């Protein structure tokens, strides 16, 4: 019971921190892709919902491996059955977190169509000689004939672009541009004109259409289960006791490194999962995420803990 309480406490402590970290990364990406977001934050809601769901999904996987690997610093559980019994409540808790994540609305399933609507609305609002801003995109429609869409390039404000036509694909993964003019004034003054241009390979905001919410939940539960099994089977004895570093700052650095290593398997699994989800990969491809996470668990628990005990003992002594 004590081992279970310790693991549940670690999970509850780690989950909000990990989820917050993922959410911050998602918001930073939003600011990069939508430079005009600050002027109309309400329009970001359809894009923030997937970020919130992903934060819980990735945060749960990271918290799981952090909790299990951190348990090596407690009293040793010598047999597999004892380790499984101690870690089972954490696995069940992860299932609950993932279930909550899948109940969060997916936001807009057609982000490109949403962006096209914003652009069309700005164009329809034109009056003679006016300049109408396009919400979220950081661009403006110059209404004077010939009508043009212009502004800084998203993510590169020093580069100015102007175009006659702009159309986003339905999933926001590509952009079609007509009569493009680009001006970059840096060390070299570069001007570029193109009758038509196409930008492809942009990261989508919607979740993979291959899976329904139950299907996505099943894949995430399978990934969490694989990490859990790896932790139960591969965890061994705690690190050999070593004296704590005399330098307090060194002890803090080593303790932070230990925390990062405990979270690493879940972070690797989450990163691969997100990459596969954005690429609309087939279900069998997600097996690679599970194998990669299990491999990192094996390296941390089977190699680093016994061979670099001072790192993990520094975490315990903080």
Answer yes or no: is pLDDT of 105 > 70: yes
Domain C-terminal end among 151, 166, 200: 200
| 69 & 182 share domain | no
Rounded distance between C-alpha atoms, residue 123 and residue 11, angstroms: 50
Identify the sign of the CA torsion 206, 58, 220, 272: positive
Nearest to 198 by CA among 171, 162, 169: 169
The torsion angles phi and psi of 78, rounded to 5 degrees, stand at -75, -30
Residue (of 186, 191, 136, 188) closest to 162 by Cα position: 191
- Write the pLDDT tens digit of every residue in 159-176: 888 889 888 888 777 888
Determine the Cα–Cα distance for residues 176 and 149; give it in Å rounded to an integer.
13
* Residue 317 pLDDT exceeds 50: no
Q: Please determine, for residue 25, whether its predicted confidence score (pLDDT) is greater than 80.
A: yes
Does 310 lie in the same domain as 210? yes
Q: Helix %, strand %, coil % for the chain, to 5? A: 60, 15, 25
Domain that holds residue 168: 113-200
Task: Give the DSSP letter of residue 209.
Answer: T
The rounded distance, in Å, linking the Cα atoms of 296 and 223 is 14
Q: Which of 151, 182, 200 is the last residue of a domain?
A: 200
Name the strand (E) or helix (H) holding 317.
helix 309-317
**Same domain membership, residue 174 and residue 31:** no
Q: Are residues 168 and 118 in the same domain?
A: yes
Task: Indicate whether 138 and 271 sit together in one domain.
Answer: no
Q: Does one domain contain both 182 and 120?
A: yes
Range of weakest confidence among 126-130, 222-226, 228-232: 126-130
121 shares a domain with 90? no
Query: What 3-state DSSP class applies to 207?
Result: coil
User: Would you state the pLDDT for residue 318?
Assistant: 45
The model's pLDDT over 63-87, given as tens digits with 9 standing for 90+, comes to 999 988 887 766 666 677 877 887 8
Q: What whole-number percentage of the chain has pLDDT above 90?
A: 20
Number of domains in the chain: 2
Q: What is the pLDDT of residue 199?
A: 81
Same domain, 300 and 157: no
The residue out of 155, 177, 200 marking a domain boundary is 200
Q: For residues 165 and 194, state if they share a domain.
A: yes
What whole-number distance in Å separates Cα of residue 56 and Cα of residue 63?
10
Tokens of 17: 């921190």
């Amino acid at each position: 019971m004590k081992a279970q309480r310790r693991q549940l406490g670690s999970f509850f402590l780690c989950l909000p921190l990990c989820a917050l970290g993922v959410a911050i990364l998602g918001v930073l990406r939003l600011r990069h892709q939508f430079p005009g977001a600050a002027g109309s934050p309400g329009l970001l809601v359809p894009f923030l919902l997937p970020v919130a769901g992903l934060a819980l999904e990735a945060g749960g996987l990271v918290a799981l491996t952090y909790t299990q690997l951190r348990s090596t610093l407690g009293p040793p559980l010598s047999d597999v059955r004892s380790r499984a019994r101690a870690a089972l409540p954490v696995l069940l808790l992860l299932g609950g977190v993932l279930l909550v994540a899948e109940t969060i609305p997916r936001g807009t399933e057609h982000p490109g169509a949403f962006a096209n609507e914003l652009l069309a609305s700005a164009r329809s609002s034109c009056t003679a000689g006016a300049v109408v801003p396009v919400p979220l995109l950081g661009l403006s429609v110059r209404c004077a004939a010939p009508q043009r869409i212009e502004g800084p390039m998203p993510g590169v404000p020093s580069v100015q672009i102007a175009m006659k036509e702009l159309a986003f694909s339905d999933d926001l993964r590509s952009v079609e541009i007509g009569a493009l003019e680009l001006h970059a004034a840096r060390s070299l003054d570069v001007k570029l004109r193109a009758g038509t241009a196409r930008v492809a390979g942009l990261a989508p905001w919607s979740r993979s259409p291959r899976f329904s919410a139950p299907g996505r939940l099943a894949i995430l539960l399978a990934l969490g289960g694989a990490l859990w099994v790896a932790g139960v089977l591969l965890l061994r004895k705690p690190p050999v006791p070593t004296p704590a570093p005399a330098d307090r700052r060194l002890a803090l650095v080593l303790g932070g490194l230990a925390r990062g290593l405990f979270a690493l398997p879940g972070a690797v699994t989450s990163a691969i999962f997100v990459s596969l989800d954005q690429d609309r990969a087939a279900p069998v491809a997600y097996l690679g995420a599970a194998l990669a996470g299990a491999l990192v668990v094996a390296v941390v628990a089977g190699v680093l803990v016994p061979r670099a005990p001072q790192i993990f003992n520094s975490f315990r002594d903080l």
